[in-house]
Structure 1
Amino acid sequence: MIESPTPALTAAEVEPLISVVLPIYNGEQYLAEAIDSVLSQTFANFELIMIDDGSTDDSQHILREYEKRDPRVRVVVRENRGLATTLNDAIDIARGTWIARMDQDDIALPHRFERQLEWLEQTGADICGSWVQRFGSSDKRVVRLPQTDDAIKMAMLFCSPFAHPAVIMRALLVKRLRYDKTWEKAEDYDLWERAAEAGWKMANVPEVLLSYRVHAEQISTLTANRQQQLTQDIRRRYGAFVSHSMRLNQRWIDEVLKISESSLSELDMDAVDAAFTELLQQSHGEARDVVFDHATRLYFRAAANCPNIVSRWSKLNREFGEGFKVATKLQLWLFRLLQVRADGALFKQLKRIYIWRASR
């Protein structure tokens, strides 16, 4: 008897290695460009899950057209439920071993997935991001994020160490932790913080794999204020974890984090110096570089409130920095002399020149 050949599986039936999660809300202006950048990846074994979260523009029509063209595309259209819920809904139906994030207005470079999978295998990480380059405005900076697990977990004390739309995460783990809608507007930072406490191994590919679009519709002043408050709450939560795990004085870390707030009254710089000294002593390699970089940024923020800020930073630099850094000392002195306050417009203008010029 001649056996009938086994029918070939369709693209929709093949178990994907990656599930790409792309939430949509009124994204018609840039949506096609974002989708095209995913579908043209050099690594092709993925599904693209796109949930339209109650859009009122033409996004749904665009999604349906792509659904007809490519069997890897899965589209869900429903009422608005918010970003965190939409991400969780997509994660729940994801079939891949890995969850890759993507936003409706960004562009993934063609080799993004291929390169990140290589990096995940090389490092054994549970989550992997990458550097990103901003575009769409005069801001064309490359955001260079820390590469190693130790450095990322140090950076998390001060800011989110990943570009959210550039990450790939182990599906089994993210399905357990999930996004928390209580922290919406900072739901990614909240997830990374909880993942760090849970012991996830973390990495960033030290090259640009995503173009991050900057445009006026991204965030309102009200949303920015809410995001800033949530971010500070997450910093404090992680600060307590770091203090306990590294056996540091909790009050010292609290004083460091206080510098990120708009009001810097009654700042204890002795505690700040002590905290950074301990953090630097217990860090090595890239992690130490990350701590020293953030220490320098925060000393600039504190300069107007601290008469001897230059000598304090110089002492830290002698022990843990590289070179004499005469320019940095001069800039700190200038910030102090001009009383450049962290919540003022002049600080925002100068920090791009003096502090964030090379990295943000």
Structure 2
Amino acid sequence: MPSSSKPLVSVILPIYNAGEYLQPAIDSILAQTFRDFELILIDDCSQDGSLAIARNYESDPRVLVLANAQNRGRSFADNLGSEYARGRYIAKMDADDIALPHRLQTQFDFLERNPTVGLTSSFLKCFGESNIIYKYPLSADAVRSSMLFNMPIANPTAFFRRSLLQDHNLRYDDTIQDTFGEDYEFIARLAQVTKIENQPTVLLNYRTLPQTQKVAVHAHRNAKSNQIRKRLLNLFGIPFTERELVIHNTVSYIPLKLGDITLGEVHDWLWKIYVFNQQRHYTTDDAMLRCVAERWFLTCYHNTEMNINALREYKNGLLAKHYEPTFQLLGKFLLRNYLLRHFKK
């Protein structure tokens, strides 16, 4: 049971059938260089012995274990943890990831230095089935622009001021009872009342799933994200047709396969977002322009086909001049576009 004195940070770690991954996740928090924290473990009626693993840590005065009598979903667990939290800050943590030792100290220092920022997260280094690094937009305006398309933070490293929950009556939507979309929906609402900035450093090792599991997970998550993107477009105030909504959702989800959507339709929609932002001032013009220009490049890059010169389409678009892909990525685009159009039968 945590001590009576209030800690500076409350780490909330929901658990559901975390199995062999749980102990390393907990240990990575207890080994933090930052020491003034409490760790709240919420077991959501696991069936695999996860609760017993969590209870093994109850002798540590920093640890509190909560156990739901029935499975209530990730949002409920997050809300329950927040109700018990006593820290000035709340740090999110997943039951199968590994926090780097300096994670909490780095994020605490960042928000202490930046009082106008309400939430921060970091880059993620994948392990398991992948070793890539997930990077996220850094500035508040870049985060706000990117949010129209996708989750702009790394939820497993979300670190935010607990006062935001109290001052704005913010909670996770516990009608979303699975783990798909509850974080995106919550962050979208939180972004309307505070600035969000990310840190350009890896603070967590993120466990990736085998490809056979990943496909189903991503499909489920994207279906929920489509609903949230529609809400955000309405909040942004931009008028859109059903066709434009389909285009928007399609280019938000990598690999951005267009089907019967043309690249011209994509460019028209992305340009419409940029022009509308100039009137609406949802975020800065530069941030929005770079955001939609990058989306234009990625869409063309992922839709090189034998009967379409995607490279030419890309360069002809007004947005092309406002995004500079890396030399490596541009080289891959040139090669793919040439090979597919000249050698694929």
Tell me the TM-score range normalised by the shorter chain: 0.7 to 0.9
Match of 2:181 among 178, 186, 200: 186
One-letter amino acid of the counterpart of residue 173, structure 1: L
Q: Is the 8 A contact 1:136 1:213 kept in 2?
A: yes
- 1:229 and 2:233 equivalent? no
Whole-angstrom CA distance in 2 between matches of 1:309 and 1:334: 10
Aligned twin of 2:127: 135
Return the alpha-carbon distance in structure 2 between the equivalents of residues 336 and 95 of structure 1: 58
Render the CA deviation track for 1:62-119: whole Å, top value 9, x for unaligned.
Answer: 2122111x10100012222111111111111111111110011111111111101111
Aligned to 2:334: 330
Please name the residue that 1:116 is paired with: 107
CA distance in 2, matches of 1:98, 1:266: 44
Q: What TM-score do you get using the length of structure 2 for normalisation?
A: 0.82
Matched letter for residue 321 of structure 2: E
Match of 1:357 in 2: none
* Residue 71 (1) aligns with residue 61 (2): yes
Aligned to 1:319: 321
1:298 aligns with 2:290: no
Q: Matched residues in 1 for 2:141 and 2:227: separation? A: 22
Deviates further, 182-191 or 296-305:
296-305
CA contact 1:96–1:171 (8 Å) conserved in 2: yes
What's 2:98 paired with? Answer: 107
SS of equivalent residue, structure 2 residue 121: strand
- Aligned counterparts, 1:1-360, within 5 A: 12-68=3-59, 70-79=60-69, 80-123=71-114, 124-137=116-129, 139-175=130-166, 176-183=169-176, 184=178, 185-196=180-191, 198-216=192-210, 219=213, 222-242=216-236, 244=237, 250-251=240-241, 254=245, 256-260=247-251, 264-267=259-262, 268-269=265-266, 271-272=268-269, 274-275=271-272, 278=275, 283=284, 288-301=289-302, 303-304=304-305, 307=308, 309-314=310-315, 315-316=317-318, 319-322=321-324, 327=331, 330-331=334-335, 333-334=337-338, 337=341
Contact kept in structure 2, 1:133 and 1:141, CA below 8 Å: yes
For the 8 Å contact 2:292–2:319, the answer to whether it is kept is: no
SS across alignment from 1:67: coil
CA distance in 2, matches of 1:36, 1:217: 27
Identity %: 31
How big is the alpha-carbon RMSD for the aligned residues of Structure 1 and Structure 2?
3.3
- TM-score for the superposition, normalised by structure 1: 0.78
Paired residue total: 324
Alignment partner, residue 4 of structure 1: none
Structure of larger gyration radius: 1
SS of the aligned residue for 2:20 comes to coil
**Displacement, 1:223?**
4.4
Q: Which moved more, 1:30-39 or 1:301-310?
A: 301-310
Could you say if the C-alpha distance between residues 27 and 291 of structure 1 is closer, same or farther in structure 2, counting changes exceeding 3 Å? same
Deviations for 1:108-163, whole angstroms, at most 9, x for unmatched residues?
111111101111123331111001100122x1111111111001111112211111
What is the Cα deviation at residue 232 of structure 1? Answer: 1.5
- What secondary structure sits across from 1:327 in the alignment? helix
Does the 8 Å contact 2:145/2:287 carry over to 1?
no
- 1:134 & 1:188 partners in 2: Cα distance? 19
**CA 1:258/1:106 → structure 2, altered by over 3 Å: closer, same or farther?**
closer
The question of whether the paired residues in 1 share the 8 Å contact of 2:267 and 2:296 is answered with: no
CA distance in 2, matches of 1:273, 1:27: 40
Query: What stretches of structure 2 of length at least 5 have no aligned partner?
Result: none
Question: For residues 180-220 of structure 1, what are the alpha-carbon distances to aligned partners after superposition, in whole Å with 9 as ceiling and x for unaligned?
Answer: 13334110011111122x22210111100011011349956
